[in-house]
Amino acid sequence: MSFSMQTIQQQFKVEYNYAVFFTQHLFDPANTLLKDFFNQYTEQGFQKKALVIVDEGFANFHPSLSSDIRTYFSQSVPQIQLASETIIVPGGEACKNDPVLFESLVNAVDVHGIDRHSFIIAIGGGAVLDLVGYAAAVSHRGIKLIRVPTTVLAQNDSGVGVKNSINFKGKKNFLGTFAPPVAVFNDLTFLRTLDDRDWRGGLAEAIKVALIKDTAFFEWIESHVDALAGRDEEAMAYLIHRCAEMHTDHIAGGDPFEFGSSRPLDFGHWAAHKLEYLTDFQVRHGEAVAIGIALDCVYAAKIGKLPEADLTRILDVLTKLGFDLYHPKLAENDKINLRNGLQEFREHLGGRLTIMLLEKIGKGVEVHELDADIIAQSVDYLEGSKLIHA
Amino acid sequence: MSFSMQTIQQQFKVEYNYAVFFTQHLFDPANTLLKDFFNQYTEQGFQKKALVIVDEGFANFHPSLSSDIRTYFSQSVPQIQLASETIIVPGGEACKNDPVLFESLVNAVDVHGIDRHSFIIAIGGGAVLDLVGYAAAVSHRGIKLIRVPTTVLAQNDSGVGVKNSINFKGKKNFLGTFAPPVAVFNDLTFLRTLDDRDWRGGLAEAIKVALIKDTAFFEWIESHVDALAGRDEEAMAYLIHRCAEMHTDHIAGGDPFEFGSSRPLDFGHWAAHKLEYLTDFQVRHGEAVAIGIALDCVYAAKIGKLPEADLTRILDVLTKLGFDLYHPKLAENDKINLRNGLQEFREHLGGRLTIMLLEKIGKGVEVHELDADIIAQSVDYLEGSKLIHA
């Protein structure tokens, strides 16, 4: 007996839209940006709520934040009912390691009756945005997420993108989804309370995209290196905008949910991830990316891909911005850890290693193998270079 | 000081494609369907693996399944490396309640090195497909999922759709994502080991879609009611195909990831969900949907929306297929539980209640209010109706 039933070919497209706004004093009643957003984000007939979740580090520097937000909403956005509590979560990578924290956020969604047509407003650095974004994405199969990134790194890179994640048994970003926000609000004034390391750290992602895609942007960074190192806000505003623009363009123009293999934005990241892990995240993400960029640039110069003059300019910019280009953990255990890092990165990508190297400033090129001995020589070079710069 | 940085408007579309195949004896080496799928699903340069996860209930009826699959892959799909173990998970709704089970699946993904370019093959009923689908969707932000549904309900409805979920602290489907599979294989022969209740239960979703969308399909069901009740495979093959086709059309033609509010396919489901919960899932999903359909049709007739003649035909088909149209839990606590059920459904939808009722066979209509007294009268009607049919 055999019945032949025709194959059903399912096919559809899902469209995503969101704005990345740039502003100052977001919750000042005189600033109508958030009010205007909610007024035009109309969906009739729903009783909308919002749950605000704030990074503890940021909340500590802004003790009036929660009451400022409540005042703003009661005056300017009365159609949205804020949950009775503002949730504070510890910031930094540690928050992504704790399954109890994730569960407490899902529980808050339940307790406060936040449904698919309500909002979660996440205010914080990249790690908190990752954690909250994941909880929002999987609760009720997706609650509308508004991101308010409070670090340079989150404003110019992760916070304007489409990913979220938590760690699983120490494996970074093992659990997560692709889930675009409904809006991102980048407030320049929120960066004032950053310490110098986090101010600087966010520059690394801008240097990354400039190096692989935009010579003019790298030259702009070169010519504003003192302003950026000196915490000039106008320079930072431009850098964040340009970097966020390139990041969102990359997502929209390519493979937004990474069904394929190519991940060129991960330039400088394979060693960075490993270094963060080896230092128990004492080296912060941007700092690690700066070292990762330096390492891969030295490597590219050593194999003759990148001109020496370009290498010098790159290391010079990184150094002038105050980045360390070397960490002792890079050389530990005869560089065996770095080799493991490469292997983990290969697995994360799906069996085939794809690493972005530079062939000149502004132009990246993908390779599928790295030579372990030349990596080791590149580490040695950076160790020596550090002595010169120190 | 004020810098005006232009808003970035991000916009992109993500395209999804997957086939729903209909076959018999999927893992028989003579059947090349799965082999052909993997051969054309080419992605060069990746080392691909697959992890097979099977519903315990199904595995018990098919003791050679795991070895059959291994033989099939070694002979026909040598390019895919199967994980060393086949994972067995307990079936039924209970599997979605256990966070440890979810964690064990994520752990298996880690242990067996299943990456974003590898596959998870989920074989089982709707609950197992929901659980495994969720674990696959969030591990590494999404592993390619192949679904092999083994119940009527999963083959014609949930298994061909785009959702997955687990429960959270007793809240049904509280955690989940929208994540289309890369393929679905519906094997008719896998239905032979179903008990009569599950064979019958799957018919409820077909009746549901026929009633709201397709008069001709309902008439086909009416005229094949004896064949379907008598486990005729040819009739079942047609019913599943037509139902799956309507379900996939509904997804593709509407709002696949349900960003909006309308959920017309939930006809008959508000009371069904509550009844499942009230009976601790002793009343199975399809059985509960049959009662839910009956209840909403009686309600529609009572308010003059649905002609009496249509109501009679609907209840007649349900009864002849062997469905109970009443359960004592419907009337418990003076119907107060049903009212709560309505409230929960309202919250799940996002504050605005939208219920599909019938105005005639083949045509649904949305309403936004139900009258509690008329619900109670409808329950009484079904209780009386049951005595007549018994």
The model's pLDDT over B291-326, given as tens digits with 9 standing for 90+, comes to 999 999 999 999 999 999 999 999 999 999 999 999
| Residue B126 to residues B122, B144, B166, Cα–Cα distance (Å) | 10, 18, 11
Beta carbons of B17 and A11 less than 8 Å apart: yes
Give A367: exposed, middle or buried? Use CB within 10 Å, 0-12, 13-18, 19+. middle
Asked if B19-193 and B196-389 have one fold, the answer is no
Does B347 contact A at CB distance below 8 Å? yes
Specify the CATH number of the domain A207-389. 1.20.1090.10
* A387 pLDDT more than 90: no
Does A387 contact B at CB distance below 8 Å? no
Could you tell me which residue, B147 or A339, shows the higher pLDDT? B147
A199-213 pLDDT, tens digit each: 999 999 999 999 999
B53-70 pLDDT, tens digit each: 999 999 999 999 999 999
- The alpha carbon of residue B112 is apart from the nearest alpha carbon of chain A, in Å, by 11
Beta carbons of A19 and B10 less than 8 Å apart: yes
With contact defined as beta carbons under 8 Å apart, do B287 and B324 qualify?
A: yes
* B388 pLDDT more than 70: no
Does B8 contact A at CB distance below 8 Å? yes
Write out chain A residues lying below 8 Å of B173, CB-based: 141
Nearest CA in chain A to B257: A14
Beta carbons of A115 and B165 less than 8 Å apart: no
* A42 pLDDT more than 80: no
Beta carbons of A12 and B16 less than 8 Å apart: yes
Assign A390 a pLDDT band (cuts: 50, 70, 90): very low
Which among A139, A173, A248 is the nearest to B174, CB-wise?
A: A139
Interface of B with A in 149-208 (CB under 8 A): 160, 163, 165, 168-169, 171, 173-178, 180, 188
What pLDDT sits at residue A349? 61
Q: Per-residue pLDDT averaged across A69-90, rounded?
A: 96
Write out chain B residues lying below 8 Å of A142, CB-based: 177-178, 257
Assign A347 a pLDDT band (cuts: 50, 70, 90): low
Question: In chain B, where are the structural domains located?
Answer: 19-193, 196-389
Per the prediction, chain A carries an average pLDDT of 91
C-alpha dihedral over A310, A312, A316, A319, to 10 degrees? 120
* B40 pLDDT more than 60: yes
Amino acid (1-letter code) at residue B208: K
Write out chain A residues lying below 8 Å of B106, CB-based: 168, 174-175
Write out chain A residues lying below 8 Å of B252, CB-based: 10-12
Does the domain at residues B19-193 carry the CATH identifier 3.40.50.1970?
A: yes
Give A194: exposed, middle or buried? Use CB within 10 Å, 0-12, 13-18, 19+. buried
Question: Which of the 8 DSSP states describes residue A124?
Answer: E
Residue from A24, A330, A336 nearest A192 by CA: A24
* A265 pLDDT more than 60: no
* A235 pLDDT more than 90: yes
Per the prediction, chain B carries an average pLDDT of 91
Q: What percent of chain A has pLDDT over 90?
A: 76
* A11 pLDDT more than 90: yes
Distance CA A118, CA B344 (A): 16
Specify the CATH number of the domain B196-389. 1.20.1090.10
Least confident stretch, A276-285, B168-177, B332-341, B355-364: B332-341
B340-362 pLDDT, tens digit each: 666 666 666 666 778 899 999 99
Which among B11, B20, B165 is the nearest to A141, CB-wise?
A: B165
Structure token digits, residue A141: 């199969």
The number of angstroms, rounded, from the C-alpha of B31 to the middle of its chain's C-alpha atoms is: 26
- Consecutive H or E run containing A52: strand A49-55
- The alpha carbon of residue B143 is apart from the nearest alpha carbon of chain A, in Å, by 9
Could you tell me which residue, B43 or B77, shows the higher pLDDT? B77
Q: Per-residue pLDDT averaged across A298-316, rounded?
A: 97
